[in-house]
Amino acid sequence: MPEGQIVRAVSGFYYIRSAEGDVQCRARGVFKKRKQSPLVGDMVTYEPTDPGQGVVTAIAPRTSELMRPPIANVEQAVVVASLREPGVQRELLDRFLVHAEREGLRIIICLTKGDLVDDSGEVDAIRTVYDPAGYPVLVTSAHTGEGVEELAAELAGRLSVFAGQSGVGKSSLLNTILPEVELATGEVSRKLGRGRHTTRQVEILALPGGGQVADTPGFSQLSFQQMEETALGECFPEMALRSPQCKFRGCLHHNEPRCAVQEAVKRGEIDEGRYRNYLQFLDEIREQRRY
């Protein structure tokens, strides 16, 4: 049976892109019995029924799985924050980073609206915070095109998802990377069930230079439900690097003696503001476990 990738899902229909062409499929009832649902991004096997129609029969093992937004096999998260209007909100940025780390994704921090900032010192200060965590920081502008080619190079060969609060310019950036997205969607809308550009559902778009980007409504779940206290530190790479040097195994880097993370904060090796956000998230996890 033919194989393909689910690139869009709407109202129980799965739109599959395969070597045989684009196919609209339903899923077999066996998936419901198994309490399993196909996701956008899944590699699947399907059985053709009528021309352009079929039934999903099997789902290949997933390398990753996000539930909000619902998508499988994502490799990379582009965490987007704007330098102006509204400006970088560090607590929210760190929250997005934790969730991307939790899923084991490669991460890029993308700063938009670079044309509105004259002082390079502001960007340098942000890089100083996130360089110790190993995150590349790209400055972009949908208005001038700054950094767009560099970002496109990072997206090549991977399935990426954009994450960030409303108003930071995710859609504008996506339209700059894919300037013909509207033209392309009009061409395939009859087979893929897509009309005008929208982010109400998850959809995978192919990039001209190879790779794919998921157009999604965004990360709607940013709390730390079902996360253990000891797992949080692993989602801060600069803390996870020093954790083996702590006196106590399972150190929470809070009040414990001879904590390598707290010592690194005092030496300025870990940003103090990022550490404060870690403590805030730790309190949230503890509070959630009480209920």
Whether residue 52 is annotated as binding a ligand: the answer is no
pLDDT at 181: 63
Report whether 171 belongs to an annotated binding site. yes
Domain covering 229-289, topology: Ribonucleotide Reductase Protein R1; domain 1 (1.10.40)
Which pLDDT score, from 0 to 100, does residue 69 have? 79
Pair 199, 217: CB distance under 8 Å: yes
118 is in an annotated binding site: no
Q: Is 169 annotated as a binding residue?
A: yes
> What confidence score (pLDDT) does residue 195 get?
38
Pick the CATH number of 3-61 from 3.40.50.1980, 3.30.70.20, 2.40.50.140, 2.60.40.10: 2.40.50.140
Residue 251 known to bind ligand: yes
240 or 27: whose pLDDT is higher? 240
Over residues 28-32, mean pLDDT: 80
Residue type for 264, please? A
CB 5 within 8 A of CB 41: yes
Q: What is the pLDDT of residue 212?
A: 94
Beta 13-18 vs 3-10: how paired, if at all? antiparallel
Average pLDDT over every residue of 106-116 = 94
Please indicate if the annotation marks 115 as binding a ligand. yes
Residue 201, number of CB atoms within 10 A of its CB: 17
The CATH architecture to which 66-215 belongs is: 3-Layer(aba) Sandwich (3.40)
- On the question of a cis peptide bond just before residue 51, with omega within 30 degrees of 0, the verdict is no
Q: Of the ranges 196-205, 254-263, 267-276, which one carries the lowest mean pLDDT score?
A: 196-205
- At 171-207, the pLDDT tens digits run 888 888 887 665 343 444 444 444 344 456 788 999 9
Phi-psi region of 250 (alpha: psi -120 to 50; beta: other; left: phi over 0): left
Nearest to 79 by CA among 50, 106, 54: 106
Tell me if 63 is assigned to a ligand binding site: no
Supply the pTM of this predicted model: 0.84
Lowest-confidence segment of 104-108, 173-177, 241-245 by average pLDDT: 173-177
Residue 165 known to bind ligand: yes
Average pLDDT over residues 122-139: 95
Query: Any idea what the Cα angle at residue 163 is, between residues 167 and 272, rounded to 5°?
Result: 95
Residue ranges of domains in the chain: 3-61, 66-215, 229-289
Q: Is 170 annotated for ligand binding?
A: yes
User: Is 25 within any annotated ligand binding site?
Assistant: no
The reply, when asked if residue 172 is annotated as ligand binding, is: yes
Average pLDDT, the chain: 87
User: Is 168 annotated to bind ligand?
Assistant: yes
Residue 141, marked binder: no
> Which has more pLDDT, 33 or 140?
140
